[in-house]
Amino acid sequence: MPPHLPPIDHRDLTSGVSLSDEVYARVGAAILDGTLAPGERLRDVDLAIQLGVSRTPVREALQRLERFGLVEIAVGRYTRVSVPDDRLRRETGIFTAYLMGNAVRLASSAATEDELATILQVADAVTDSARRGDIPLLFARCTEMFQLVTRATHNAVFIGVVREAALSIERNLRGWDPFLATALERVDLFERLRTQLHDRDGDGAETSVRELHGLV
């Protein structure tokens, strides 16, 4: 079997990024783009050879990917890329909606004026995508806004949690229309959310995010 993944150049590792972090990011990205397909078996020795690392960081990365549902591990039997079903997608959607609600609440008070201005620009793009009924574009814009809002919380613990879960969120929700289909019927909620972000109304913004996903 030809290698799926290019080797890691240790010189490219940025400060504070461990080898396990890089393996996690590489394997996760390969799952997201389909290089490693749903149901595909993963052998730590093969991945280690392809990436040019020892098996230890590969095992650590696979365990992290398992915690967020991207990989299934049956000890002594197999390790494979998971196949998301509707239940997993629904649960991921609920988790993400609550996480986004927490993010806008925190960022409403913590964001700098420059950060808020950038968030509002993307919020305008989100609303425009909703008006056009373009679900793939709406998902991409919402993802971009969520990333900006998360960084604007300036809460290292929260940012770390979101970073760890981000791969799973994107894989499980990308292309799953029910996550945003209901929201397309309530463009007014996107407009309201934009106003609440502008006014730094954390309580209102959190409620709007949850209402967009039918959780209020």
| Tens of pLDDT, residues 130-149 | 999 888 898 899 999 999 99
| Tens of pLDDT, residues 117-126 | 999 999 999 9
Torsion of CA 88, 73, 9, 163, to 10 degrees: 30
- pLDDT at 116 > cutoff 50: yes
Give the mean pLDDT of the chain: 90
Ranges 50-59, 79-88, 179-188, 193-202: which has the least confidence: 179-188
Sign of CA dihedral 22, 28, 33, 36: positive
Q: pLDDT category, 15, cuts 50, 70, 90? A: low
Strongest mean pLDDT among 3-12, 15-24, 151-160: 151-160
Domains and CATH numbers, the chain: 10-81 (1.10.10.10), 86-212 (1.20.120.530)
